[in-house]
Amino acid sequence: MRVYLDNAATTPMDPAVLKEMTQVMESQYGNPSSIHAHGREARSLIEKARKTVAGLLHTSPAEIFFTSGGTEADNTAIRCGITDLGLKFAITSKLEHHAVIHTLEAMEKNGLIDLKFVDVDSKGHVNYDQLEEMLQNQGRTFVSLMHANNELGTLTEIERVGDICEKYDAIYHCDTVQTMGHYPHDLGKLKIHFIACAAHKFHGPKGVGFLYVNHKVKIKPMIYGGAQERNMRGGTENIYGIAGLAKALDICYTEMEEHRQHIQGLKTYMKQQLEEAVPGIKFNGETDEDKSLYTVLNVSFPEMDMGDMLLFNLDIAGISASGGSACSSGSNIGSHVLTAIGASPDRPSVRFSFSKYTTKEEIDYAVAKVKDICLVNA
């Protein structure tokens, strides 16, 4: 048996999305920048997808720009947002994805910004009072705080952050890669200037995402070339990827509550089963259902022989999981997120993450294998 519990890294594509993309690949091969009929048909498809996304998020199609994924969207928001808006200060947390932290650190290294980190507690919650205090004592600032941490699942109160940023005229960028398609986002109400999305996190294709840019801010392109994406991103559009993204997001919004109940039930069940199977187990991040991403469960196991081989042993047992962010796979540094919340480096940690396709039988199989591995290495 092979069990996939690494959906925070990427999700299997929905068959309806694959069907939509296949139809586009077979019939819509025109260049959307061309003025002839084939080009106009391709352009129409892109704009239809843009309207679908904008409609689901309660915003204007003019504020949605398709990208190659979440990393490009984050980089564009950060680099262009800071540079083009003339900002000299930035605030983030040690829990952000490397697409955010490394970009901001590179800008600081080049002397473009003064970068500060807001404190987080042992569950991964931002210190909101400190954030406000920091904004009070410096000039106009770029704030980048994600909606849900990709390793812990801890949710940030983005409405609260938005209110704080508005109070001090700060620019707010939010990485919503882990929550897009899993939670409703009403951009007509949220006080956010930029959000980033990647389709492969909600059963869409890899290599495509989008950046939301609030109409109140004006930035220049990060990628120059042609006039694509209304002069905001050069390069011929990934037509079938964009169609797949829109289809995947539409399915997510249609089935969101049903899938949330299913996945939350599996997460709660696995947590209970692991507590019974492995004495001394701990859970990283927020455990309150209302404050935690329902697709992620981060587990710290008791110290054991060959603890650094736990993921390898799980893989041999037929279980695909992660030690943290998939972007750090192969690194010997360890998880910067677990370090930031003070997790013990001596306890091996595993991130199990679920999707609508995960079953109770798969959870039972995974827990049984985890128990066997822990007993052997105790």
The DSSP bridge pattern shows strands 349-353 and 282-284 to be: unpaired
Q: Active site includes 374?
A: no
Considering 165, 197, 252, 327, which one is annotated as catalytic?
327
User: Which token pair is 238?
Assistant: 């990934």
Active site residues: 327
